[in-house]
């Protein structure tokens, strides 16, 4: 008997999260003998609990083409944590809804916390002998999911960061007066996004001259020494910092103002370390200082998306649908690089318990110069991820996107 499939998006969006959604929909609709309808959770599990569902099978071919190039989360997102206790009433309510909708497979596109949702639902199903498959589709610009080589969304974020920092560096070079520009980038515990700023360099010794990430404790005194040395080399210095840099005591630099707040998952909401460092540098060196926070642009710039990233995001969604319909459950889609010349990926699965609530840090051995620069190993790793420019459907000189009305 044919079943319906259900897909949701959760956590922070990316430039290619909808390409993964497209992959799930396209693969499901390509199997009419197995799949009747493809439904979407509006605003993830939280919206689904409130009855907010849309029939994605009704999207036209043109709609799907637009969906693939649309940034942010078409279905809407949420940050909703399911209870640790699998006897909580919410689980029986969810499965009552699954049964009423004749759901045979459920997909959740997200990061660490979203994989926690997949893990809990699949464990509940196993205990209650439910036959629904639950598969996680990886998504995060932070690139911090373990097991998989990299995460869809990271390549486009890296390309945006490298392109934007290159432009900021060119702008900073216009004047001959000494000046420092501090660029704050996303990354609470992992410095992958900030590391991408190294790709902006046009030649060795180019800006950004200094790069600081959470993996190495931040020392204000060493920072001052680094800045002094950098200013002695050239008048215009660009520095890139992760939002999550912290001192050796574990205190976030942004907390020096005591403004950090907590989100629903207990994570500190970090912002403002570049602004704090701006004040320190201005007071210490008496030069012109500017701080720039790229903020959400890092995750929603489809015009600077990587074609490789779009393709890999779609493949991840397709593989998730394929494996779920084969009966796999409690897994997340992974990718690994094949050995040999060139760049080629192989897609697989891992137990979602290997991923949820865990983080993959940036390799410390790739961090050089006493914690203020990135080694060549990262360039070899990251360059294949930012290749290509996807074709865009345009309207009146602007990209055309799909959105829910």
Q: Residue 15: which CATH number?
A: 3.40.50.450
Average pLDDT of the segment spanning 43-66: 98
Known binding residue 367? Answer is: no
**Residue 339 and residue 233 in one domain:** no
**Residue 156 and residue 293 in one domain:** yes
Active site residue 119: no
In a domain, 60, yes or no: yes
Strands (E), 206-330: 210-212, 236-242, 261-262, 268-269, 288-293
In the chain, how many domains are there? 2
Local confidence band at 343 (pLDDT 50, 70, 90 cut-offs): very high
In a domain, 281, yes or no: yes
In a domain, 379, yes or no: no
**Residue 183 and residue 121 in one domain:** no
Residue 332 pLDDT exceeds 60: yes
Q: pLDDT tens digits, residue range 166-197?
A: 999 999 999 999 999 999 999 989 999 999 99
Radius of gyration of the chain (CA): 22
Known binding residue 269? Answer is: no
Residue 153 pLDDT exceeds 80: yes
Q: pLDDT tens digits, residue range 80-122?
A: 999 999 999 999 999 999 999 999 999 999 999 999 999 999 9
Average pLDDT of the segment spanning 284-294: 96
| pLDDT at 267 (0 to 100) | 56
**Residue 197 and residue 166 in one domain:** yes
Local confidence band at 357 (pLDDT 50, 70, 90 cut-offs): confident
In a domain, 364, yes or no: no
Residue 372 pLDDT exceeds 90: yes
Local confidence band at 405 (pLDDT 50, 70, 90 cut-offs): confident
Local confidence band at 1 (pLDDT 50, 70, 90 cut-offs): confident
Q: Which residues contact 86 (CB under 8 A, 6 or more apart)?
A: 120, 123, 124, 127
In a domain, 386, yes or no: no
Tell me the pairing of strands 179-185 and 236-242: parallel
Known binding residue 141? Answer is: yes
Mean pLDDT of all residues belonging to the chain: 95
| pLDDT at 334 (0 to 100) | 98
Q: pLDDT tens digits, residue range 207-260?
A: 999 999 999 999 999 999 999 999 999 999 999 999 999 999 999 998 887 543
| pLDDT at 271 (0 to 100) | 55
| pLDDT at 261 (0 to 100) | 44
Tokens 């500017």 correspond to 290
| Residue 211 lies in domain | 152-297
**Residue 249 and residue 322 in one domain:** no
Known binding residue 142? Answer is: yes
Q: Which residues contact 397 (CB under 8 A, 6 or more apart)?
A: none
**Residue 244 and residue 337 in one domain:** no
**Residue 53 and residue 81 in one domain:** yes
Which of 113, 142, 144, 309 is catalytic? The answer is 142
Average pLDDT of the segment spanning 373-388: 97
**Residue 100 and residue 43 in one domain:** yes
Average pLDDT of the segment spanning 18-30: 98
Known binding residue 36? Answer is: no
Known binding residue 374? Answer is: no
**Residue 308 and residue 253 in one domain:** no
| pLDDT at 260 (0 to 100) | 38
**Residue 265 and residue 308 in one domain:** no
| pLDDT at 266 (0 to 100) | 56
**Residue 275 and residue 187 in one domain:** yes
Q: What angle do CA 183, 189, 193 make, to 5 degrees?
A: 45
| CATH code at position 263 | 3.40.50.460
Residue 269 pLDDT exceeds 70: no
The model's pTM is 0.94
**Residue 99 and residue 224 in one domain:** no
Known binding residue 358? Answer is: no
| pLDDT at 10 (0 to 100) | 97
DSSP 2-49: -EEEEEEE-SS--SSHHHHHHHHHHHHHT-TTTEEEEEEETTHHHHHH
Measured CA to CA, the distance from residue 208 to residue 180 in angstroms comes to 10
In a domain, 96, yes or no: yes
In a domain, 279, yes or no: yes
Average pLDDT of the segment spanning 143-147: 98
């Amino acid at each position: 008997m044919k079943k319906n499939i259900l897909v949701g998006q959760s956590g922070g969006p990316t430039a290619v999260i909808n390409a993964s959604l497209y992959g799930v929909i396209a693969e499901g609709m390509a199997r009419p003998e197995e799949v009747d309808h493809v439904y979407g959770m509006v605003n993830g599990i939280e919206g689904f609990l409130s009855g907010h569902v849309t029939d994605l099978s009704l999207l036209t071919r043109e709609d799907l083409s637009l969906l693939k190039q649309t940034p942010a989360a078409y279905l809407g997102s949420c940050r909703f944590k399911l209870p640790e206790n699998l006897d909580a009433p919410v689980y029986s309510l969810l499965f009552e809804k699954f049964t009423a909708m004749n759901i045979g497979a459920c997909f959740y596109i997200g990061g660490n916390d979203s994989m926690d949702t997949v893990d809990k639902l699949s464990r509940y199903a196993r205990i209650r002998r439910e036959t629904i498959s639950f598969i996680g589709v990886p998504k995060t610009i932070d690139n911090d999911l373990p097991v998989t080589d990299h995460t869809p969304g990271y390549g486009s974020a890296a390309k945006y960061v490298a392109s934007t920092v290159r432009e900021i560096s060119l702008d900073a070079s216009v004047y001959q007066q000494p000046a420092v520009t501090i660029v704050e980038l996303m990354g609470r515990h992992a410095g992958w996004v900030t590391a991408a700023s190294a790709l902006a360099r046009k030649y060795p010794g180019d800006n950004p001259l200094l790069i600081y990430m959470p993996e190495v404790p931040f020392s204000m005194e060493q920072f001052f020494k680094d800045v002094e040395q950098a200013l002695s080399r050239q008048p215009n210095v660009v520095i890139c910092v992760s939002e999550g840099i912290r001192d050796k005591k574990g205190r976030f630099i942004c907390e020096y103002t005591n403004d950090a707040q907590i989100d629903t998952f207990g994570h500190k909401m970090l912002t403002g370390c570049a602004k704090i460092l701006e004040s320190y540098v201005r007071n210490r060196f008496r030069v012109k200082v500017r701080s720039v926070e790229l903020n959400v642009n890092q995750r929603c710039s489809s015009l600077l998306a990587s074609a490789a990233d779009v393709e890999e995001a779609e493949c991840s969604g397709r593989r998730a649908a394929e494996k779920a319909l084969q009966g796999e459950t409690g897994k997340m889609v992974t990718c690994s690089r094949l050995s040999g010349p060139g760049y080629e990926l192989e897609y697989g699965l891992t137990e979602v318990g290997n991923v949820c609530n865990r983080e993959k840090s940036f390799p410390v051995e790739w961090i050089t110069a006493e914690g203020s620069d990135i080694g060549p190993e990262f360039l070899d790793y990251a360059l294949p991820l930012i290749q290509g420019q996807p074709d865009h459907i345009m309207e009146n000189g602007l990209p055309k996107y799909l959105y829910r009305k």
